[in-house]
Chains A and B, each alone.
Chain A
Amino acid sequence: EAGVVQSPRYKIIEKKQPVAFWCNPISGHNTLYWYLQNLGQGPELLIRYENEEAVDDSQLPKDRFSAERLKGVDSTLKIQPAELGDSAVYLCASSLDSYTGELFFGEGSRLTVL
């Protein structure tokens, strides 16, 4: 069975440019998470979806970040415009539901903003 798939793996852009990341969760997983991870640190939650509903987006900087999960499957995370401080790894994870607790992560998308 395929795991969580993310793309692109790497992205280099100049500041003020837009960027988008895509995530395909494990089939049948209702809960999808986007995390931001800085080098050597723990992931920080940006947004959590239950099916197509965003149930926790309190840590998402809504002035420049947006996310969607159409039809409750794939998800896209967008940053517009990107800032230097946005350079990080963006991890997508999925789980059967929020109550099982076990998260399965993708390999991440590493963003570098110049």
Chain B
Amino acid sequence: TQLLEQSPQFLSIQEGENLTVYCNSSSVFSSLQWYRQEPGEGPVLLVTVVTGGEVKKLKRLTFQFGDARKDSSLHITAAQTGDTGLYLCAGIYGGATNKLIFGTGTLLAVQP
């Protein structure tokens, strides 16, 4: 069974601080996505990374895909209260039928 472990599980920080969320698996992904989910809403896609070693930036968010395509990280610079939410990585495993597996989730609370 494929498993995507995220760490930390919960993170509470002050506005302006930096943070990094990790997503790890023992399996190789064909691609990996990051979603953010706010309370009472469904997850919303932030980014998709496809190539090993790829780095993508979305304003203050930096996403990195591991060289071996087994892990990924999300770095937020100068966090804002609007960044509060549940961050989910989701790995797509190729093969006969593409399958998308969500990670365990990281709940981020940014305090003013």
Contacts and interface: CB of A to CB of B under 8 A. Distances in A.
A42 B88 contact: yes
Contact of A101 (B4, B6, B31, B104): B31
Interface string A18-43: 00000000000000000100001111
Category for how many chain A residues contact B: 20 to 34
Interface residues of B, number: 27
Contacts of B97: 55-56, 98
A40 B9 CA distance: 9
Nearest to A50: B97
A4 interface: yes
Interface of A (DSSP majority class): loop
A41 B45 CA distance: 16
Nearest to A4: B42
A91 interface: yes
